[in-house]
A and B are shown apart, each in its own frame.
Chain A
Amino acid sequence: MTDLICKDLCMTFRNATTGAKVEALKDINFELKEGEILTVLGPSGCGKTTLLNMIAGFITPTSGDLILGDKQIEGPGAERGMVFQQGALFEWLTVARNVDFGLRMRGANQAETSEKVEGWLDTVGLQGFGDTPTYQLSGGMQQRVALARCLVNDPALILMDEPLGALDALTREKMQSLILELWKKTGKTIIVITHSVEEALLLGERLFVMAPRPGRIHREYRLPFAEMGLTQSLRAIKQEDEFSKIREEILTMIWDMEEEIMGNV
């Protein structure tokens, strides 16, 4: 089993000019079962991106343990795929070369690689775009390439840092469906960080609302909407009373936190 275990995780930054310590994260504890999809919400500065970067291995926690499967997380690795807000595609490569980047770097078999790439491009809805330069793609298509590039590596855990933040509303909804579809199809563990409460509710089987100063998990939800989204239209789900109720509750929660921050300053 490749569960993600996060135990007593703390992260303290030191301000470079003033020397003051800032507790970005304090005592984060959770466990994510294989195949679960988790969304993380919170006001700006609550440390959600820091959490993601630590899981990805880009930064090392001050204290605490991060364990994926039976291995301690130390540095970035191919078993934890990452999708960035702006895609972070290599604009000098074509779509196919972007997607097969990871496999190429690890010297995988060429024929197998191109077969896999074709398959994943089909899955994300980019069949026939293999030879297109990525700079000619729209924002939504670029995110599809980023998803395919991540999935072709077959990671145990997929980390998404506001993956749909830069997209227009319509594209966003399509991409949300795509993410749920991929989740179902691959059975991967996924963590999505988002600013949008609706998106968090729609995509998250589990949802963390984080609070700032120090960054911590304020409240956890277990939600049925992700499962529902596999069969129903997302727009219909949004109409549900239960959905609206939780949405309002979380919004109030985040509003209060923001007010508190403003008041403190």
Chain B
Amino acid sequence: MFEWISDNRANIALVIIIGLLIAFVWSIRTGLKETRLRAKDEVFGDPERTRGGWYWAVCGVSALLLVWFYYSWGTARAVFPKAANELCQIAKIDEALSPVSAALPITSRYLKSTTLVVRNRAQIVRLQENVPVNALSASEQARLLAALSQTDMMISMLSDPASVDAAAVAALADIEQDILQLADRLNQGYAGMLPTAEALAQPKWGTGELEIALLPMTPRGVLFDSISQDVVPIADRFLKIRNLSPEMQATIASTAAILKELKDAGPELQLDEALTKDRKAYIKAVERIFKRIDDANIFPSEVMQGVDAAVATLFVAVDDAKGGLGVAEALFFPGSGIIKSRTQCTEQGSGRWLPKPTDVVATFASLANPDLESGGGYKGTTLLWWKWLNIADVVGFLIPDGLVDILPGTYGTHGPDGDFKPHYKDHLLALAQGDVYLGSIPMLDGHIWDSMFRVLVAMAFGVFLGVPLGIYMGVSRFFKSFFDPLIELYRPVPPLAWAPLILTIFGIQDDGKIFLLFMVAFAIMVISARTGASGTQLSKIRASHSLGATNNQILRHVILPNALPEILTGVRIAIGVCWGTLVAAEMLAGTTGIGFIENVARTVSDYELIWVTILIMGLLGLMFDLVMRWAISRLIPWRGKG
């Protein structure tokens, strides 16, 4: 079942997209109709105008999902499931031709020759102007400048159609012809071409190991694939062409001789260490520029025109051969298209970093699969499941070993016969260390639970310690003034700034994270409880005094309930902040949790997983907030009505 859904995700996406389109259009129509109906009863600014309107929610959600489908190329895959494979074949042509097109003003604005000429000329001028006169004798200077001006002359020779190497011109003409021939073949179409059985057996787009299958699966793809294979030797030949006319060779030889002599001879002047270094560096710079030019891959622009035109013709032919595919690419592949690099074809732009909604669901389903052996979960932990928890572990965690140490009595020692007779303290110690079997209870488990557990434990500590302190700070001058500086000093520090310190002290496991979150929750709870307590109306306090309540009763029965709305708002804020801090803390260190998954996904650029974790965090945050909103409306119905 799951396999079938996974294999047919493109078709399922198509059904969903059609449904979304219908929902989108329908909701707009309904919305407009409703608006027209109500327009008469409402004036602008009337708060009633914001009530209802769920059809606009449908409109917004479907629009969002449609945009997601579109920019993730989910629509492209649903409508043209084979387009990616065909575009991959075209990308192969681009890849094979890239040595040629890199030399032409196709991938950049200028001919590669132009760029080389301009850059090297500028460097020659700079070297000529910056001769280290102290490090070189007059004759050395003269010879280096001669080498430079000869190099400069070589650039002129390479750029001049009059002095260009005839063999190179002929080779370029051959390449031009071969490329034009390929264009011709493209124009003849792909009649009779058939994909191989091996190619057809490849997994569909997005379902296999490779995102996009490499072998051509359509006749058109076969044509592009065969052209790309023929481009490879042409490009190889192109790379080997050198503009080496006889004069050029002579100049190269004489310049090389000058430089070799200079290098071999050693300095003519007495030089200290720094100047020796200067001399060496200057000669090396001159030599480097000479070596670049003696590659002789600069050609006059007129000579390149033929190849340039041929490549342009080939691209036109590719575009013509694309036919409907070109339209599909323009309409449904926003971003940068598909490129081939060595072993695989990859989606670029939004297609790359925005996973398709259906793929996200598939990734989520595989994460949520609790069966670790069949590849579910992540890094050996389920997403959210349950396990048997040893009660002894909990007891051991709660009872500190030191508590047993301070009890009266002694630990057992071994007797003369080598037997160990445990005392009662030894039994207690075993309990405190969790070494006794006390049975098991079912307990939640998994990355999500680990994250939630940390937040919930930290919140529990934060509330039970923060609220009483906050209340006392709200009513007592001593508590307020004594604790205010402490809390106000640590609270403004962003929790993540504490993280490296806290994680070092308490360890990267739960303890450190829980303490970090506790710090966050504690400050928020103290401040909200304090605000709530100090906001109690004086008349209510006086009324309760007059009714005979004691101070403690007033705290418990008047100030606490009065502060409850603020406290619950504080809990709501604290949960949100804790959640945000937790995920970041998990990214810093740890081996479980949602933030941990995202951190690993980030290092391997698994965009689907990154999005899945983002969505899980969003949904869990939303869930926390909804629970809190529900709790607030249930627990304090009087809020804002006092």
Chain A positions within 8 Å of B, measured between CB atoms, are: 56-58, 75-78, 80-82, 84-86, 88, 90-93, 101-102, 105-106, 133-135, 146, 149-150, 153, 159
Contact = CB atoms under 8 A, between A and B. Distances in A.
A82 B543 CA distance: 6
B460 interface: no
A78 B638 contact: no
> B-side binding surface: helix, strand, loop or mixed?
helix
Contacts of B564: 92
Nearest to B560: A92
B540 A102 contact: no
Given A92-B636, A135-B638, A84 B543 contact: yes
B259 interface: no
Contacts of B548: 77-78, 102, 105-106, 153
Interface stretch (B101-109, B388-396, B472-480, B549-557): B549-557
A162 B482 CA distance: 39
A93 B637 CA distance: 11
A91 B641 contact: yes
B603 interface: no
Given A91-B641, A92-B564, A82 B550 contact: no
B263 interface: no
Given A86-B539, A90-B558, A134-B638, 11 more contacts: A56-B542, A56-B546, A76-B546, A77-B548, A85-B539, A88-B537, A88-B539, A90-B544, A93-B561, A105-B547, A106-B548
21 contacts: A56-B542, A78-B546, A80-B546, A82-B546, A90-B540, A90-B557, A90-B561, A91-B641, A92-B564, A92-B638, A101-B544, A101-B549, A105-B548, A105-B550, A105-B557, A133-B637, A133-B638, A135-B637, A135-B638, A149-B543, A150-B547
Interface residues of B, number: 23
A227 B369 CA distance: 84
Given A78-B547, A78-B548, A153-B548, A91 B539 contact: no
A81 to B, nearest CB: 6
B291 interface: no
Contact of A153 (B539, B540, B547, B637): B547
B547 A149 contact: yes
B52 interface: no
* Residue of A81, A92, A149 with most chain B CB atoms under a 10 A cut-off: A92
B33 interface: no
Contacts of A75: 545
Contacts of B553: 105
A134 B642 CA distance: 9
A40 B543 CA distance: 20
Given A88-B539, A90-B561, A92-B638, A58 B545 contact: yes
Interface string B600-640: 00000000000000000000000000000000000011100
- 8 closest Cβ pairs, A-B complex: A78-B548, A102-B547, A135-B641, A76-B545, A88-B539, A91-B642, A82-B546, A91-B638
* Residue of B537, B546, B562 with most chain A CB atoms under a 10 A cut-off: B546
Contacts of B549: 101-102, 105
A77 B636 contact: no
Contacts of B561: 90, 92-93
Contacts of B544: 90, 101, 105
Contacts of B642: 91, 135
A88 B547 contact: no
B466 to A, nearest CB: 21
Contacts of A86: 539
B637 A81 contact: no
Nearest to B540: A88
Contacts of B636: 92
Contacts of B540: 88, 90
Contacts of A149: 543, 547
Contact of A88 (B543, B557, B637, B638): B543
Interface in B252-278: none
A76 B641 contact: no
Nearest to A53: B542
* Residue of A58, A75, A146 with most chain B CB atoms under a 10 A cut-off: A58
A102 B557 CA distance: 11
Contacts of B547: 78, 81, 101-102, 105, 149-150, 153
A105 B561 CA distance: 15
A82 B636 CA distance: 27
Nearest to A136: B641
A58 B550 contact: no
A86 to B, nearest CB: 7
A264 B98 CA distance: 97
A77 B544 CA distance: 10
A81 B548 CA distance: 9
Contacts of B546: 56, 76-78, 80-82, 150, 159
A92 B560 CA distance: 11
Contacts of A56: 542, 546
Contacts of A57: 545
A76 B542 contact: yes
Contacts of A92: 561-562, 564, 636, 638
A85 B540 CA distance: 11
A153 B561 CA distance: 22
Nearest to B545: A76
Contacts of A80: 546
A180 B542 CA distance: 25
A106 B544 CA distance: 12
Contacts of B641: 91, 135
Contacts of B537: 88
A102 B547 CA distance: 5
B638 to A, nearest CB: 4
A88 B542 contact: yes
Interface in B529-581: 537, 539-540, 542-550, 553, 557-558, 561-562, 564
B423 to A, nearest CB: 48
Contacts of B638: 91-92, 133-135
Contacts of A84: 539, 542-543
Contacts of A102: 547-549
A63 B240 CA distance: 113
* Residue of A81, A88, A106 with most chain B CB atoms under a 10 A cut-off: A88
A150 B550 CA distance: 17
Nearest to A76: B545
Contacts of A81: 546-547
Nearest to A83: B543
Nearest to A93: B561
B458 to A, nearest CB: 28
A106 B549 CA distance: 7
A191 to B, nearest CB: 13
Contacts of A146: 543
Nearest to A102: B547
A141 to B, nearest CB: 14
B278 to A, nearest CB: 77
Contacts of B543: 82, 84, 88, 146, 149
B379 to A, nearest CB: 48
Contacts of A153: 547-548
B460 to A, nearest CB: 23
B531 to A, nearest CB: 17
A92 B639 CA distance: 9
Contacts of A93: 561
A82 B561 CA distance: 21
A79 B319 CA distance: 99
A102 B553 CA distance: 11
A88 B543 CA distance: 7
A91 B636 CA distance: 10
Nearest to B565: A92
A82 B549 CA distance: 13
